[in-house]
Amino acid sequence: MNPKPTSQVLAEATAAMVDRHDVTDLLTRLLRDGSSSLGVDAMGLIVQAPDDTLELLVSTSHRVAELEALQVGQDEGPCVECYRSASPVVALGASVIQLRWPVSGEAIVRAGFGAVHAFPLVWHGRALGALNIFTQSDAALDESQREMAQAFTDMSTIVILQTQSIDQRQITESLREALLGRVVIEQAKGALAHLQGVDTATAYELLVTEAVQRATSVTQVAQDVLTRAQRQRTGS
Amino acid sequence: MTNDGLGPDPRHRAAILAALTRGIARDVDRLPLPARLCNAFVDVFGGAGAAITLGYHQPDRLTLCATDPTVARLDGLQEVLGEGPGWDAFTSRRVVTADLRHPTPWEHFSSTARQELGELWVCAAPMRPDDRALGVVMVYDESPEAIGGDPVLAQFLADAVGAALLGHDALLTDDVGPWVVRQQVHQAVGMVVAQLGISPVDAMAVIRAHAYSQDTDVEAIAALVLDRALDFSDAGPTTKDPA
């Protein structure tokens, strides 16, 4: 079995922003810039492949590429744990790292690293992968470094998502629907406020009450109110 | 000028994204994401100020951030007039620039903006995280010479900003600042619907026309309607003396 590597899938995928670009090249350069912005020694990025396994996508050095591949192969390590839990992972000091991940931790320490941080690539609550940050020092990243690391993680997420145009379109669509639904409710509050001579807060309560009574959504009631308001002219 | 060709080369793309990322990471605890995106856009692209407007068409238009009163006015003016580089950028899905020192295709917008704000240079780039336009990033400066004004860079940045916004759940929470202001416009539209028995689209047109005739923006007219100081249901619009 030899599934197409994710990097190739991503590079082939078409999307507005990066269809004409080499995604892995872009991400590699982005991680290099990120490493120097943060003042850390190395970064590696693993992502969920289409068949739900984890795969190394890019790294800033060959040494880190091996460490990431080992984590994926062993199904153990900071990046794997971060992806599974969808929350950040921190391990400081050689003994902590070795104790926590017997195989990959040992390799991380042997490669000369004293601390690892991992940040999840999260998109609407779902983890798509994780960004691993390696430092020779065993110190924790400070607040501003963590914020910067999070921003680079988010930007990596965005670049990767650009290659998944269908998901993306659905999200645009649902965002648009949610925004439009909200607009209709506000308009109905205004219409009711005028028709009933109440303030907009009270108008909203009326909408909610009617939705409960009719066992329907507030958006539906709002739509009905607007339709009624257009038929009956009540001014003056 | 429009651009549909290749983006910046890979080396530059990564550097641009890294610069944008550093800009976004700044002031995390002080500013909401849209404001940080506006600032980061100006950091990387240049310009005196920027605004991000979601969904340029009525009724779901929402200006998420404007970095200063000038760009806020440029945005509000285009909404009232229904014309300008932002509109064209949104509908054509291409970068549209306007140099107000010279004649433009938007006579009302240009003359009003020139008179009120000066001979500015305006660049509107559609945010196209997928194959449709999500909204527009608009940036302005004294002249194009001041910032280079590369449309390829503007488009690349706008797409990245749009993609960043799509991941931002807070767009849909009710306490987002810009939405709090904007929901009053929608409520006012509802009141005008009830006053005149017309559709929301027509009601919005009434409010826009009134804003135009009063030389103000739709938010100001909406506030009057909500205060019941302005009622369109009589023969003509009556404004009770606000004093």
Band the pLDDT of B167: cuts 50, 70, 90. Answer: low
In terms of pLDDT, which residue wins out, A11 or B191?
Answer: B191
Q: How far is A53 from B123, CA to CA, in rounded Å?
A: 44
Look over chain B and give the mean of its residue pLDDT values, rounded to a whole number.
85
Tell me, yes or no, whether B57 and B160 share the same domain: yes
Q: Is residue A236 in a domain?
A: no
The parent domain of residue B47 ranges over 10-171
Annotate A107-141 with DSSP letters as a single string: HHHHTT-SEEEEEEEEETTEEEEEEEEEESS-PPP
Say which DSSP state B169 is in.
Answer: G
In terms of pLDDT, which residue wins out, B227 or B59?
Answer: B227
Tell me, yes or no, whether A139 and A174 share the same domain: no
Q: How far is B133 from A111, CA to CA, in rounded Å?
A: 47
Query: How many other C-beta atoms can be found within 10 angstroms of the C-beta atom of residue A205?
Result: 12
Tell me, yes or no, whether B162 and B211 share the same domain: no
Tell me, yes or no, whether A156 and A199 share the same domain: no
**Interface touch A171/B60, C-beta < 8 Å:** no
Q: Chain A residue closest to B225 (CA)?
A: A190
**Three-class secondary structure of residue B170 per DSSP:** helix
Q: Are B67 and B46 in contact (CB under 8 A)?
A: no
Q: Is residue B69 in a domain?
A: yes
Tell me, yes or no, whether B113 and B195 share the same domain: no
Q: What pLDDT, on the 0 to 100 scale, is given for residue A6?
A: 32
Give chain B's domain count: 2
Residue B89: partners with Cβ closer than 8 Å, 6 or more residues away: B95, B96, B124, B125, B126, B133, B136, B138
Look over chain A and give the mean of its residue pLDDT values, rounded to a whole number.
82
**Chain B contact probe: residue of A148, A170, A175, A225 with most B CBs at under 10 A:** A175
Q: Is residue A145 in a domain?
A: yes
The CATH number of residue B212's host domain is 1.10.10.10
% pLDDT > 90, chain A:
44
The parent domain of residue A202 ranges over 168-231
Tens of pLDDT along A78-124?
999 999 999 999 999 999 999 999 999 999 999 999 999 999 998 77
Tell me, yes or no, whether A84 and A123 share the same domain: yes
For residue B172, give the nearest of A158, A178, A192 by CB distance: A178
Which position has the token pair 């009163």? B69
With a cut of 80, say whether residue A132 has pLDDT above it: yes
Where do the H-state alpha helices sit in chain B? 10-25, 33-45, 69-81, 85-92, 107-117, 144-147, 151-166, 177-196, 200-213, 218-226
Tell me, yes or no, whether A96 and A134 share the same domain: yes
Give chain A's domain count: 2
For residue A17, give the nearest of B15, B129, B172 by CB distance: B129
Say which DSSP state A43 is in.
Answer: E
Q: What pLDDT, on the 0 to 100 scale, is given for residue A12?
A: 33
Q: What pLDDT, on the 0 to 100 scale, is given for residue B240?
A: 54
Q: What pLDDT, on the 0 to 100 scale, is given for residue B242?
A: 47
Tell me, yes or no, whether A150 and A65 share the same domain: yes
Band the pLDDT of B11: cuts 50, 70, 90. Answer: low
Which stretch of A93-107, A177-191, B93-107 has the lowest confidence by average pLDDT?
A177-191
Q: How far is B16 from B159, CA to CA, in rounded Å?
A: 12
**Chain A contact probe: residue of B43, B60, B161, B196 with most A CBs at under 10 A:** B60
Tell me, yes or no, whether B117 and B186 share the same domain: no
Domain stops at, among A110, A144, A163: A163
Residue A229, both tokens:
């308001």
Annotate B15-39 with DSSP letters as a single string: HHHHHHHHHHHTTTTTS-HHHHHHH
In terms of pLDDT, which residue wins out, A218 or A234?
Answer: A218
**Interface touch A168/B166, C-beta < 8 Å:** yes
Domain stops at, among A140, A163, A186: A163
In terms of pLDDT, which residue wins out, A117 or B32?
Answer: A117
Q: Is residue B3 in a domain?
A: no
Tell me, yes or no, whether B148 and B216 share the same domain: no
Q: Is residue A124 in a domain?
A: yes
With a cut of 50, say whether residue B51 has pLDDT above it: yes
Q: Is residue A95 in a domain?
A: yes
Burial class (CB in 10 A: 0-12, 13-18, 19+), B49: buried
Q: What pLDDT, on the 0 to 100 scale, is given for residue B9?
A: 67
Tell me, yes or no, whether B103 and B190 share the same domain: no
**Angle (deg, nearest 10), helices B177-196 and A218-231:** 40
Q: What pLDDT, on the 0 to 100 scale, is given for residue B171?
A: 59
B29: left (phi over 0), alpha (psi -120 to 50) or beta: alpha
Q: Chain B residue closest to A16 (CA)?
A: B130
Q: Is residue A60 in a domain?
A: yes
**Chain B contact probe: residue of A179, A223, A225 with most B CBs at under 10 A:** A179
Q: Is residue B5 in a domain?
A: no
Tell me the mean pLDDT in the region B207-233: 92
Band the pLDDT of B199: cuts 50, 70, 90. Answer: very high
Tell me, yes or no, whether A193 and A76 share the same domain: no
Tell me, yes or no, whether A39 and A108 share the same domain: yes
Tell me, yes or no, whether A151 and A186 share the same domain: no
Residue B95, both tokens:
């970068």
Q: What pLDDT, on the 0 to 100 scale, is given for residue B90?
A: 94
Tens of pLDDT along A150-160?
888 988 888 77
With a cut of 90, say whether residue B55 has pLDDT above it: no
Q: Are A10 and A160 in contact (CB under 8 A)?
A: yes
The CATH number of residue A217's host domain is 1.10.10.10
The CATH number of residue B113's host domain is 3.30.450.40
Q: How far is A23 from A13, CA to CA, in rounded Å?
A: 9
Residue type, B34: P
Tell me the mean pLDDT in the region A168-184: 70
Domain stops at, among B171, B191, B210: B171
Tell me, yes or no, whether A103 and A206 share the same domain: no
Residues in A touching B171 (Cβ below 8 Å)? 175, 179
Q: How far is A124 from B169, CA to CA, in rounded Å?
A: 7
Which stretch of A53-57, A165-169, B17-21, B141-145 has the lowest confidence by average pLDDT?
A165-169
% pLDDT > 90, chain B:
53
Q: Is residue B195 in a domain?
A: yes
Tell me, yes or no, whether A97 and A140 share the same domain: yes
Tell me, yes or no, whether B104 and B195 share the same domain: no
Domain stops at, among A132, A148, A163: A163
Q: Is residue B15 in a domain?
A: yes
Q: From the centroid of its chain, how far is CA B74?
A: 8
Residue type, B146: A
Q: Which helix (H) or strand (E) holds A185?
A: helix A165-196
Q: Are B232 and A194 in contact (CB under 8 A)?
A: no
The CATH number of residue A34's host domain is 3.30.450.40
A contact residues 85-144, partner B, Cβ 8 Å cutoff = 123-124, 144
Q: Is residue B124 in a domain?
A: yes
Domain stops at, among B116, B136, B171: B171
ipTM: 0.73
Tell me, yes or no, whether B149 and B194 share the same domain: no
Tell me, yes or no, whether B149 and B207 share the same domain: no
With a cut of 70, say whether residue B217 has pLDDT above it: yes
Tell me, yes or no, whether B122 and B59 share the same domain: yes
Band the pLDDT of B168: cuts 50, 70, 90. Answer: low
Q: What pLDDT, on the 0 to 100 scale, is given for residue B117?
A: 95
With a cut of 90, say whether residue B237 has pLDDT above it: no
Q: Is residue B164 in a domain?
A: yes
Residue A9, both tokens:
């899938």
Q: Is residue B120 in a domain?
A: yes
Q: Are B110 and B99 in contact (CB under 8 A)?
A: no
Tell me, yes or no, whether A82 and A178 share the same domain: no
Q: What pLDDT, on the 0 to 100 scale, is given for residue B74?
A: 96
* A55 closest CA partner among A111, A4, A104, A107: A4
Q: Is residue A1 in a domain?
A: no
Q: Is residue A64 in a domain?
A: yes
Q: Are A45 and A58 in contact (CB under 8 A)?
A: yes
Query: How many other C-beta atoms can be found within 10 angstroms of the C-beta atom of residue B184?
Result: 18
Q: What pLDDT, on the 0 to 100 scale, is given for residue B176?
A: 57
Band the pLDDT of A1: cuts 50, 70, 90. Answer: very low
Say which DSSP state A216 is in.
Answer: S
Residue B227: partners with Cβ closer than 8 Å, 6 or more residues away: none
Tell me, yes or no, whether B152 and B32 share the same domain: yes
Tell me, yes or no, whether B93 and B206 share the same domain: no
Q: What pLDDT, on the 0 to 100 scale, is given for residue B26?
A: 81
Tens of pLDDT along A29-41?
788 888 988 999 9
Q: How far is A41 from A111, CA to CA, in rounded Å?
A: 12
Q: What pLDDT, on the 0 to 100 scale, is given for residue A22?
A: 63
